Amino acid sequence: MSMRCKLTGKRRNLGYNVSHAHNKTRKVQLPNLHKKRIWFAEQNRMVSVKLSARALRTVTRKGLDGFLRDEGLTLKDIL
């Protein structure tokens, strides 16, 4: 199961923790993902999507069909 937002494409960020002595250790920053069921008005059904918190705010404001239309995506792209 990938740590990737289906709508925005956000994924994990890799980098280094750098100490005062300039020692480097690997660090992973994970996206804030949530699995939600969202109403898709065009097909009158619920859709289960794994999305980031930022995408959830946008979908709440625009609706899933509006978000997909603005991003140029289809329902098959996110499922």
**Global confidence as pTM:** 0.77
Q: How much is the pLDDT for 1?
A: 57
CATH number at residue 63: 2.30.170.40
Instruction: Residue count of the chain, please give it.
Output: 79
55 occurs within a structural domain: yes
Q: Tokens 């979908």 identify what position?
A: 59
13 occurs within a structural domain: no
12 occurs within a structural domain: no
Per-residue DSSP letters for 7-57? TT--B-EEEEEE-TT--EEEEEE---EEEEEEEETTTTEEEEEEEEHHHHH
20 occurs within a structural domain: no
| pLDDT tens, position by position, 8-54 | 999 999 999 999 999 999 999 999 999 999 998 888 999 999 999 99
51 occurs within a structural domain: yes
Q: Tokens 């993902």 identify what position?
A: 33
**Average pLDDT, integer, range 50-74:** 91
What domain count does the chain have?
Answer: 1
Supply the range of the domain harboring residue 65.
31-78
